[in-house]
Structure 1
Amino acid sequence: MDPVSNRQPNAFHRAFPAREFFRGSARSVLFWSLFNGLLLACLLVDLFLIVDLLNHRGRITVRGEQNVQLLQEIRNEPALVNPPAEEPTEQPAPPPAEAEAEKKQEAPAEKPAEPEPPAEPAPVVSKLMILTDTGILPSVWWLHSKYQMGIMPQLYQRFPILHENQKALFALILTALVLASIRVLIRWRLRQRSLKISHHVSMTLRNMIHRQALRMGPGDLSGKETEQAFHLFIKDVGTVQNGVFEWVYQLARHPLALIIMLLFAISIDWRLTLQCLIPLAAAWYFLLQHRKEYELQHAKTLVNIETELSLLAENLRSTRLVRGYGMETAEHEQFQKHLDKYTENLDNLKRVEGWGHRIARGLAVFCSCLVLFLVGYKVLVNPDSLPLSAAILIVGIFAFFYLPVNGMYQLMHLRNDASIAASSIYRYLNQIPEVSQAVGAKFQEPLSQSLQFENVSYTQSANSPKILNGFDLKIPAGTSTALVSLEALAPRAVSYLVPRFIEPKSGRVLIDGEDTAWVTLESLRAEAIYVSGNDPCLTGTVKENIRCGDERYSLQEIIAASKEAHAHQFIQNLPQGYETALGQHGEELTAGECFRLGLARALLRKPALMIIEEPEDTLDDDTKTLLEDAYTRIFQNRTVLIIPSRINTLRRVDQVVLIHEGKVEAVDSQSNLLKKSALYRHWEYTRFNQFRHVQESSTER
């Protein structure tokens, strides 16, 4: 098995440990689920009473003196000597012939008849009692005689409304509606609690991803790690959140409902329940195995369909060869062959889906018939032990077994998906950033002498080629330098090394002779500020974008920095000026406006070293003019490293550093490099020739 799949359950357990079920909101979920289960048991009893009342219609027949007395106790009535509807035993009458003989013997005597002693009354033996319109009394009698339950007789005695059929039916239906309504409210509360738990888990994960992105993000040269963090933040955390919600919510519902319904069915007739459960469990096991095979076959068929469809589409790209070499007939035959295979795969997919549905329906029909047969046979053979109402309830319980069982099966799939997403998240969180602050780091003073790269090598990963390989460069303080290369990542890597967004694999970066690896990150990044024209605006107001959370800077200082970067004018034209909200739900700025805002953000801090990456987007003429004037101010008395995207910037800087294969190829002014370096001429032509946009647009088309 893949080791990643082995870690998936642990990843989900790490996101939501089992012990969390007994804390906070999860503990209240368990409490409400138990209460919901108790209501389910009461609802099942109520449904049994309703069905039994409709079946017996309040008519009850009791035989035997002890049963009659017990029934009278249940009805809370005194014992009767000659109860109604009873059949008392009587003295046998003498035969007619003997009576005539006695009369003839007594007639001639003519003596006064002696009074006979009064005969003692014969004892009354109760054998049969029939009552009608007794409400739920037949159900109470059956439950009491079967389980010796004292709760139901007390319930019958305390609520007279249950003594008559119509009133009892109304009360039972009303009780069922109340119980069902309370269960709906409890399920809503369970859902809200489960959402709260899953929301807490997702917020925890997103907070961890955000912190990790702040640690890892500055060194992302290509932007892949940022995209990965964004994908994890949005999609994978959402998958984990949904998995935790379903895990808590469904576990609070389905297992307890299954146990209660199963215990209820066993309490009615445990032998019959086992007889129904064994074939149902076997059918469900067979269905699970069939589902696995069906999903595997379905996936293979889909792959075959996509393959054949790709081959059919691929033939559209070879039309010139086909017509040029007269291959129309062979190409048509080949196309028809792939089309037949595609049709065959579609038929296979339909056949697989059809057989899957037929088998599932066949098993459902078979199980239903089997349960009906077993329950019906029990009712016909021994109706006293299993009345029709109890049989109907058992059938209903087994019918509703499918919902929680299938819900638990689907829950395992959701948990598996959430485990995969959680595993990706924790793999990202476990990454160690390459830049860290050394113990005992010193404060970095502003650059005053030189910035030097000493035999620097850098690569993004062990298996990727080196971006810098023995890079050596010394830049005097107070100069402006442009970094160019055919490899787009090389100038950016050099720029990222200065504020230690990335760490060299070997070599050193020195500021005034001090190794930047031994200075504090805060002081270094305060003096070497990176401005990228490709960065978006922060979510917040214009003032907050420039201030960046540092309340030391006043509005006057912010305005002064904005004027220096030629951003003040367009900021004033915004709806609320410096209080205008920017970001996804605020005002949208152009690439040139965002870039000038970034320059103002850096100029506010008055750094000794500025690293500028110009925007890749094409700027309008007004922005270019404003930038020319802004650069005049920025370049004065400051060391500037710049990654240019405009030819005018190259002409303005003091020197251009050409990087090739990770090393410094040439250092000179732009005009001298045009004369001396064929490599530089090639680079400048590919970047700034007037036909490049036409070539790019035609390539895209």
Structure 2
Amino acid sequence: MDTSAFNRLRDDFVKSPRARVAAAVGTVAAAFAYVALLVLLYLFVDLLVWKGEIPSYADLRPARKAAFAGEWMNRADADRADAVKRLGLPDASAARVAAAELKRAPTPTEWEWRWRAGAYLALRDRVNQEAADTYLPEAPAADTPDPATRAELGLLSLVVRERDRWTGRLAGWLARWNGWAWRPGADGSANDTYLAGLFVFGFGLALVRGVLLNAVAYAAAQVTIEAVTRLRRALYFHIFRLGSLAVRTSGPAEAAELVTGRVESAREAVESSLTAPYRFPLLFVLLLGLILSINFWLAVSCLLFALLVWLIGGQVAAYFRREARVGSRQSDAALSLLRESMGLMRLVKCYQMDRFNQSRVERQIAQAGRAGWRRYRGETLARPMLVAVALIAGVCLLYLAAWAVLAGDLTTPGLAVMAVALLSLAWPVAGWVDARRKRARGEEAAAAIFEFLDRRGEAAEAADAEFLPALTGRIEFRGVTLTEAGTGRKLLDDVSFAVPAGSKVAVVGSDPTETHALVYLLPRFLDPTTGEVRVEDRNIRWVTHESLRAQVAVVMQDDLVFTDTVANNIKCGDPGYTLPQVIEAAKLAHAHQFVERLPQGYETVIGGDGMSLTPGQRFRVALARALLRDPNVLVLEEPFGPVDEDTLALLDDTLERVAPNRTIFFLAHRLSTLRAVHRVFLLRHGKLEATGSHRDLWQNNDQYRRLQVLADATGETAALSETS
């Protein structure tokens, strides 16, 4: 497969550069918005846990107390002195509190004052002077280490508690620009305003992200639909440039699959390619960075456990699923043999095979049991095994997370955000895998589409093509050879014959593809590989399509009607034909009687998505379409099999009335037709094996007689009941 086919498809058919850029930018912005929502989740959980209160020194864990002692000692003397001065302590006490080291260990009260001074300095450095001044007047007295109430300062609590982490630095930056997040209200608390602000920002981010994703989807859909429209239009026009499609038995099906299934796969791949290369890798990197920044070693442990679950649980589960599939196939085979054995009762009794058959049945029952056990074991163990491994990993991770929280290395808000981010990692991973799957299908579809579009048309009109006059002489095939495109198979091999104007001839053969190939040469649905077809002693390669096809009408079983009104089916939507002309053609084809009985008459929708017609009725509508154009040459493929005698009689009457002065090629399935034509042409393996009247061929050609016998045996000449 050409791995550049999909890139070629995007370069040739995907336009709208602005929409492509908008899709990429919107995707990136949506990823950042999602991470911002996780940051807001951190702030929200922190507010719920700490209620905006700044802890006292006595509330700190030993590790945090030790870290604060080092922080205090590393502070500049001027900073310590300024902070202690603002506490309003007596000079002697202020000197002891401000000192970096004391000859004796500081008392708990002195540590409390140091902690408050340190909190003041942290707020001054991380936020601003106003925030630091807001904290100190609200601080409780040092001799009441556990007051009944504490100041609720919103975001400032996080700044003080985590000032040595990235979360504290981020909170300080946010607090510097959002004073409403910590300024106390009339009730002395900043929490209500802070909570309302978090809600507004969260709502706004969620709304913006939703708008961005919808805009991305709209832009991607716009680009994709435009590309698909151009692609389908290119395929549609190219179908009519490829004459070989009309004769290859897989041709129409191939074209339909390209326009529908293949283009749909390409659409999914194009749409995914506009967003997936940016959305999923970026979101994965952002989430992974957030997880690692919260607690590096716990994040690494989580990722290792996830890998372990995939390596052990996923692979073991995959093994058991494979076992289930193998067991299912073996069980089906064993049960099939068992059903066969159960149906041999008459044979067993007749030939006294009781013991033999019993041993066979016992063996088959045992085989079915073993296969069933293999299937059930695979089906029942695959999912529980994966769940068990995932649960074990989850318990281990829960222990590690709890240990980190108790040790002070991880906060409760951090744990909540890490859990959500870890779960969210599954989304970009699954999205990336799905995008790769769509890309692979898109590559395959693009390769098939371009293989089709790169085929050369075989029936192009010559630049100096001439007008073809009305047929009055003959139609001649001279050494016509036709090779099927793609396979190299010879459908026609050096076929030569002539048909005088006004003759009725039949073409028969064991391979419908060969007979179709011969008659498709007449309207130049395709051209011979070698040789030529001549009308009025002119090679039809050098006449205009319009003048040729105005004289040749084709009625084939593959395309009798399409989904539209009866009138449009007959006149093919050509406004040049009036309704009275349509009705006259329908009367000539004996279609008018049943059309009048349809619910809306000639305005009744028929075809695949319309009202259903019988095979004979569909054929008569198609015949009316051909007769409306009054062609000189008529190519008719007779209805297959189930057509009642009355309908066949009506068709025979129509053909008898339109036959004078008209050349008719029959792809015949009825003996009555073969008897009525002037000549029969018998094709075998692409060669014209015999030609002559029906009587001559019946008497002198074994292959012709064999074809008639097979037709009788398969019921192709039989008549079944049908409403006319």
Q: Is the 8 A contact 1:546 1:600 kept in 2?
A: yes
- SS in structure 1 at match of 2:554: strand
Matches within 5 A, 1:487-498: 487-498=511-522
Q: Is the 8 A contact 2:152 2:190 kept in 1?
A: yes
For 1:400, the equivalent position in structure 2 comes to: 424
Q: Is the 8 A contact 1:453 1:510 kept in 2?
A: yes
Moved more, 190-199 or 36-45: 190-199
Judged with a 3 Å threshold, the aligned counterparts in structure 2 of structure 1 residues 643 and 393 are, in CA distance, closer, same or farther, namely closer
Matches within 5 A, 1:581-620: 581-620=605-644
Q: Distance in 1 between matches of 2:383 and 2:136?
A: 67
For residues 449-475 of structure 1, the C-alpha deviation after alignment (integer angstroms, 9 at most, x for no partner) is 111222333453686764433322121
Deviation at 1:616, TM superposition (A): 1.2
Structure with larger Rg: 1
Judged with a 3 Å threshold, the aligned counterparts in structure 2 of structure 1 residues 243 and 582 are, in CA distance, closer, same or farther, namely same
- SS in structure 1 at match of 2:499: strand
Aligned mate of 2:481, from 439, 457, 480? 457
Moved more, 65-74 or 288-297: 288-297
For 2:158, the equivalent position in structure 1 comes to: 139
For 1:85, the equivalent position in structure 2 comes to: 140
Aligned mate of 2:536, from 495, 509, 512? 512
Judged with a 3 Å threshold, the aligned counterparts in structure 2 of structure 1 residues 433 and 555 are, in CA distance, closer, same or farther, namely same
For 2:251, the equivalent position in structure 1 comes to: 225
For 2:471, the equivalent position in structure 1 comes to: 447
Q: Is the 8 A contact 1:220 1:226 kept in 2?
A: yes
Which amino acid in the other structure matches residue 45 of structure 2? Answer: V
For 1:123, the equivalent position in structure 2 comes to: none
Judged with a 3 Å threshold, the aligned counterparts in structure 2 of structure 1 residues 397 and 691 are, in CA distance, closer, same or farther, namely closer
Q: Distance in 2 between matches of 1:475 and 1:641?
A: 10
For 1:262, the equivalent position in structure 2 comes to: 288
Q: Is the 8 A contact 1:650 1:670 kept in 2?
A: yes
Judged with a 3 Å threshold, the aligned counterparts in structure 2 of structure 1 residues 313 and 84 are, in CA distance, closer, same or farther, namely closer
Aligned mate of 1:151, from 164, 173, 176? 173
- SS in structure 2 at match of 1:509: strand
Aligned mate of 2:559, from 535, 539, 550? 535
Aligned mate of 1:652, from 676, 695, 719? 676
Q: Is the 8 A contact 1:532 1:613 kept in 2?
A: yes
- SS in structure 2 at match of 1:61: coil
Q: Is the 8 A contact 2:265 2:441 kept in 1?
A: yes
- SS in structure 1 at match of 2:240: helix
Q: Distance in 1 between matches of 2:381 and 2:6?
A: 35
For 2:120, the equivalent position in structure 1 comes to: 68
- SS in structure 2 at match of 1:60: coil
Does residue 37 in structure 1 map to residue 31 in structure 2?
Answer: yes
Q: Distance in 1 between matches of 2:536 and 2:136?
A: 120
For 1:50, the equivalent position in structure 2 comes to: 44
Which amino acid in the other structure matches residue 27 of structure 1? Answer: V
Judged with a 3 Å threshold, the aligned counterparts in structure 2 of structure 1 residues 260 and 521 are, in CA distance, closer, same or farther, namely same
Deviation at 1:336, TM superposition (A): 4.3
Does residue 477 in structure 1 map to residue 489 in structure 2?
Answer: no
Q: Distance in 2 between matches of 1:656 and 1:389?
A: 90
For residues 655-688 of structure 1, the C-alpha deviation after alignment (integer angstroms, 9 at most, x for no partner) is 3334445444444444555555555444444435
For 1:98, the equivalent position in structure 2 comes to: none
Which amino acid in the other structure matches residue 594 of structure 1? Answer: R
Q: Distance in 1 between matches of 2:346 and 2:456?
A: 53
For 1:92, the equivalent position in structure 2 comes to: none
Judged with a 3 Å threshold, the aligned counterparts in structure 2 of structure 1 residues 630 and 692 are, in CA distance, closer, same or farther, namely closer
Which amino acid in the other structure matches residue 405 of structure 2? Answer: V
Q: Is the 8 A contact 2:556 2:636 kept in 1?
A: yes
Deviation at 1:138, TM superposition (A): 0.9
What are the ranges of 5 or more consecutive residues in structure 1 without an aligned counterpart? 89-127
Deviation at 1:609, TM superposition (A): 1.7
Deviation at 1:201, TM superposition (A): 4.6
Aligned mate of 2:405, from 374, 379, 400? 379
Does residue 627 in structure 1 map to residue 621 in structure 2?
Answer: no
Q: Is the 8 A contact 2:638 2:669 kept in 1?
A: yes
Judged with a 3 Å threshold, the aligned counterparts in structure 2 of structure 1 residues 431 and 21 are, in CA distance, closer, same or farther, namely closer
Does residue 580 in structure 1 map to residue 604 in structure 2?
Answer: yes
For 2:75, the equivalent position in structure 1 comes to: none
Q: Is the 8 A contact 1:29 1:252 kept in 2?
A: no
Q: Distance in 1 between matches of 2:158 and 2:213?
A: 30
Count residues with an aligned counterpart: 651
For residues 234-266 of structure 1, the C-alpha deviation after alignment (integer angstroms, 9 at most, x for no partner) is 444444444544555655653333222223233
Judged with a 3 Å threshold, the aligned counterparts in structure 2 of structure 1 residues 349 and 166 are, in CA distance, closer, same or farther, namely farther
- How large is the RMSD of aligned CA atoms in angstroms? 4.2
- SS in structure 1 at match of 2:55: strand
Q: TM-score, normalised by structure 1?
A: 0.78
- SS in structure 1 at match of 2:559: coil
Judged with a 3 Å threshold, the aligned counterparts in structure 2 of structure 1 residues 668 and 506 are, in CA distance, closer, same or farther, namely same
For 1:111, the equivalent position in structure 2 comes to: none
For residues 535-566 of structure 1, the C-alpha deviation after alignment (integer angstroms, 9 at most, x for no partner) is 23133333332333444444444444334333
Q: Distance in 1 between matches of 2:131 and 2:544?
A: 90
Query: Identity across aligned pairs (percent)?
Result: 27
Which amino acid in the other structure matches residue 146 of structure 1? Answer: R
Q: Is the 8 A contact 1:247 1:411 kept in 2?
A: yes
